[in-house]
Amino acid sequence: MSKKIFILLPDGVGLRNFAYTHFHEIGIKKGNEIVFWNYTPFSLKELGFDEIVVQNPRLHPLTDFYKKAQIQIELSLNIKRAKDNVYNGYRFPISKKNLKEKLKYILLKTLILKNNSKKGIERVKNKIKEKERKTKHYFDSLETLKYEKPDFVFCTNQRITQAVAPILAAQDLGIPTATFIFSWDNLPKGTKILDTDYYFVWSNHMKDELKYYYPYIKEEQIFVTGTTQFEPHFEKELLVSKEKFFNDNNLDANKKYICFSGDDITTSPYDEIYLEDTAKAVEKLNQNGHNLGIIFRRCPVDFSNRYDAVLNKYSQIITPINPKWKKMGELWNSILPTKEDYILQVNTIKHSEFVVNIASSMVFDFIAFNKPCCYFNYEIQDGIHKNWSVNKIYKFIHFRSMPDKNSVYWLTNPDTFSEVFEGILKTTDKDVIENAQKWFEKINLHPANKASERIWNAIEKVVQ
């Protein structure tokens, strides 16, 4: 019997993982009726999908306030639980620029101090639910669900506050709900805002994390499925020839290319300096008989001009290939991926020798093609970003999952870049490739191209 499945799509990450992959196609083949509950400005009708568009879903005025408190308390509880101050590194500074912001800060700190316990965090979470149940968005969601009568509501992101009201509405109507933990580093950060009936995770490692941070979640509520985001890497029909890719992107057919994968300005405020150091190393290698170039793929939500000087200076070496994302509004979260960018990313990996960056999950994208990753691991000190340190980044919890430190090449000194790059080009270290593959298999259930199928099997198990 056909089941109606609502896919609650609150952001661009959900688009990338569940609208642009074969997830929808597989669900239809299994006999499901699929409706995307679409919170993004991107019309899924262009893809031929059924959708219900949600416009301007307004939170209760206090929801975001309580959410900030919840995250801060979660991090404090994690410190107590693990006896590890690394969780302080996940805290974002709270603005106190003017009197209004100072007052908000004082109120927030008071709320946190009064609720800095297991019982306290439950009070805060219940406040979010209480407030969201009073919103127009909640009552609109109730009406939609009563009319549509879905058998299951699956949210593609566990941290979006706009999803709280529809999930509550579904639960209040007795409709089973689930959420997908969308990124490998999310759980230690205390960003699980949604409480659903079921949770879909990337791996057994992530399952153990979920049970550790949220011990009230039972074994039978968790499904290990893998993530759909790596599936396109195994679709040979997406690949284009080297000749076509090079022609389309103004690359030199006689060169080999290194991919520099840019980070957002919060993760890597000195990214342009790392790019220049990479360009200097390539310049040195070219002077010694190599013929190399750099493909620069910037972070999709970084529209800054911070790279411009380096790109101009090394225009003979660096070729920018910008991500094909669409800006559909003024806010950063209205910058959305396109299916064309999926194809572009896959072919960028296919036609690059290896990737260099700071701390990115691109290590897994490249190892899917048996290609290595280099991580920058040295400090830039100019006194501007005083609270930032590359050493702090690699101490984050998700890097402890690395089975062997020799899973990437560590770029610790710009003076030795050229030697490292030359070594990779001549003979890539088999241990690095094997260790990176083991890391990938630990982080994401394999085979990596079967995640959509496993998610649908889990959904069927719940609704039947």
Length of the chain: 464
Tokens of residue 340, six digits: 């064309």
pLDDT at residue 1, rounded to an integer: 67
- Amino acid of residue 46: E
Q: pLDDT tens digits for 350-396? A: 999 999 999 999 999 999 999 999 999 999 988 788 889 999 999 99
Model pLDDT, residue 98: 87
Q: Residue 154 belongs to what H/E stretch?
A: strand 152-155
pLDDT computed for residue 330 by the predictor: 59
Give residue for tokens 């919840």: 70
Q: Using DSSP, state whether 194 is helix, strand or coil.
A: coil
Asked whether the domain spanning 236-443 has the same topology as the one spanning 4-59+135-227+448-463, the reply is yes
Q: DSSP of 357-391, one letter per residue?
A: ESS-THHHHHHTTT--EEEE-----SSSSTT--HH
Bridge partners of 9, per DSSP, are 38
Please provide residue 409's backbone torsions phi and psi, each rounded to the nearest 5 degrees.
-90, 130
Q: Annotate 192-217 with b (16+ C-beta within 10 A) or e (fewer).
A: bbbbbbbbbbbbebbbebbbebeeeb
Tell me which residue of 199, 201, 183 sits closest to 191, measured CA to CA: 183
First to last CA, the chain: 10
- Cα separation, 18 vs 4, whole angstroms: 16
pLDDT recorded at residue 333: 57
Segment 294-339, tens digit of pLDDT: 999 999 888 899 999 999 999 999 999 999 988 776 555 567 899 9
Q: Where are the domains of the chain?
A: 4-59+135-227+448-463, 63-118, 236-443
CATH for 236-443 is 3.40.50.2000
Q: How confident is the model at residue 109, as a pLDDT?
A: 95
What is the distance between the alpha carbons of residues 461 and 455, in angstroms, rounded to a whole number?
10
Long-range contacts at 212-220 (CB < 8 A, ≥ 24 apart): 212/81, 213/74, 213/78, 213/187, 213/188
Cα dihedral across residues 320, 323, 324, 327: positive or negative = negative
- Nearest by Cα to 134 from 159, 178, 164, 160: 164
Query: Six-digit token pair at 150?
Result: 């879905």
Instruction: Name residues of the chain where pLDDT drops below 50.
Output: none
Report which of 18, 59, 64, 58 is spatially closest to residue 38, judged by C-alpha positions.
18
Return the structure tokens found at 389. Answer: 């340190």
Cα torsion 261, 264, 267, 269 to 10°: value is 100
CATH number 3.40.50.980 is the correct assignment for the domain at 4-59+135-227+448-463: no
Q: What is the pTM of this model?
A: 0.95
Q: Parallel, antiparallel, or unpaired: how do β-strands 198-201 and 318-320 relate?
A: unpaired
Tokens of 260: 């520099």
